[in-house]
Amino acid sequence: MNHLGPGEEERRLREQYAQMNEDELQAVADYGYELTEIARSTLESEISQRGLNIKLRDAPPPAPAAETLESDDLLDSPLVTVREASDLSEAHRLQDILDAAGVPYCWGPDNLENVDAFNSSLDDGLALKVCTVDLDRAVRALNLAPPPEPEETEEEDYVAVCPKCHSSEIVFQGRDAEPATGSTNDSKFNWSCDACGHQWKDDGIEEEA
């Protein structure tokens, strides 16, 4: 790899900086502490010629304080309600979402850490609260979570009843003789009701209770 001499390197940098706009020069100046002496002096010369108010950074900026994700006491931070749970299953779902996202939370007026510690009814709703600094993360996690799966409803057992009195005390009397067509689909089912004595024929589908 060919290395440029100081004069050639300065000329290259001067041409490079001359093509940059003010924002680009500012971006380079923000990392001035990483530039070589030639690059620093060439950049300062370009900034001075343009009369720009840009200072080269001599050292990296201090690392931002780590944002505390969990507080020993949530009451030390402002709280805001992010959702209302109307039943225990919904509360557990919301709680699981925030647990997975690493967002601290609390429940209700007593700021309980777990919804299972809430002993009263949830008929009036239970507030799920987070720290104000965590609100955006909590809303994003809750909005991106899949909706709850619909509860499976058990199908009621089919109950055949009499079409007249709707009693279930019905008796299958047999089927008619097969018609001349020879198709069993055309034969009728004979029924009677022990409760009211009604007799009827159908295709094998009695009235459902």
pLDDT of residue 153: 61
User: Both 79 and 136 in a single domain?
Assistant: yes
Instruction: State how beta strands 199-202 and 189-193 pair.
Output: antiparallel
Query: What are the residues whose beta carbons fall under 8 Å from the beta carbon of 108, sequence distance 6 or more?
Result: 118, 126, 127
Asked whether residue 137 is domain-assigned, the answer is: yes
Q: In the predicted model, is pLDDT for residue 93 greater than 80?
A: yes
Residue 145: alpha-carbon gap to chain centroid: 2
Q: Hey, what are 190's tokens? A: 């004979």
Boundary (domain end) residue, out of 144, 168, 197: 144
The predicted-structure confidence for 139-176, as pLDDT tens digits, reads as follows 888 888 777 777 666 666 667 788 888 888 888 777 87
127 forms beta bridges with 84
- E strand or H helix that includes residue 156: none
Boundary (domain end) residue, out of 16, 35, 50: 50
Asked whether residue 36 is domain-assigned, the answer is: yes
Q: In the predicted model, is pLDDT for residue 46 greater than 90?
A: yes
Grade residue 205 by pLDDT with cuts at 50, 70 and 90.
Answer: low
Left, alpha or beta for 124 (phi > 0: left; psi -120 to 50: alpha)? alpha
User: Both 124 and 176 in a single domain?
Assistant: no
Asked whether residue 104 is domain-assigned, the answer is: yes
Read off the CATH number of the domain in which 199 is found: 2.20.25
Task: Please provide residue 93's backbone torsions phi and psi, each rounded to the nearest 5 degrees.
Answer: -65, -45
Asked whether residue 34 is domain-assigned, the answer is: yes
Asked whether residue 181 is domain-assigned, the answer is: yes
Asked whether residue 150 is domain-assigned, the answer is: no
The predicted-structure confidence for 191-202, as pLDDT tens digits, reads as follows 888 888 888 887
End-to-end CA distance of the chain: 91
User: Both 78 and 46 in a single domain?
Assistant: no
User: Both 20 and 82 in a single domain?
Assistant: no
Task: Please provide residue 81's backbone torsions phi and psi, each rounded to the nearest 5 degrees.
Answer: -75, 125
Q: Please indicate whether residue 208 or residue 43 has the higher confidence score (pLDDT).
A: 43
Q: How far apart are CA 52 and CA 134, in angstroms?
A: 39
Q: Indicate the number of domains in the chain.
A: 3
Under DSSP, is residue 152 helix (H, G, I), strand (E, B) or coil?
coil
Instruction: State how beta strands 79-85 and 106-107 pair.
Output: unpaired
User: Both 98 and 139 in a single domain?
Assistant: yes
Asked whether residue 78 is domain-assigned, the answer is: yes
Asked whether residue 66 is domain-assigned, the answer is: no
Residue 209 · residue 168 · CB < 8 Å: yes
Boundary (domain end) residue, out of 144, 168, 194: 144
User: Both 165 and 139 in a single domain?
Assistant: no
Which of these, 92, 84, 95, 90, lies nearest to 151 by C-alpha position? Answer: 90
What is the residue range of 44's domain? 7-50
Q: How far apart are CA 43 and CA 174, in angstroms?
A: 104
> Residue for token digits 């969990």?
70
